[in-house]
Amino acid sequence: MQEATDSLTARIRDNTIKPGEKLPTEPGIMGRFEVSRTVVRGSTVSTIADV
């Protein structure tokens, strides 16, 4: 989960994902990091809390 969280946070902070832009889809994140939907949701919540 930490890798997915770190990646999303970094992409937001370096403006790869711009304010107001949609985050990658759950299936996209699941495939990229080979994790479950539960992990993706936890990672997304954690990312939002960090940014």
Rounded to two decimals, what is the model's pTM? 0.78
> Is the per-residue pLDDT at 50 higher than 90?
no
Domain that residue 29 falls in: 2-50
Q: Rounded distance, CA 31 to CA 35, Å?
A: 7
Q: How confident is the model at residue 47 (pLDDT cuts 50, 70, 90)?
A: confident
6-40 residue pLDDT tens: 999 999 999 999 989 998 999 999 999 999 999 99
Look at residue 36 in the predicted model and tell me its pLDDT. 95
Counting other chains too, the contacts that 39-47 makes at CB distance below 8 Å and 24 or more residues apart are: 39/1, 39/4, 40/4, 42/1, 43/1, 43/4, 43/5, 43/8, 44/8, 46/1, 46/5, 47/5, 47/8, 47/9, 47/12
Q: How confident is the model at residue 1 (pLDDT cuts 50, 70, 90)?
A: confident
Q: How many domains are there within the chain?
A: 1
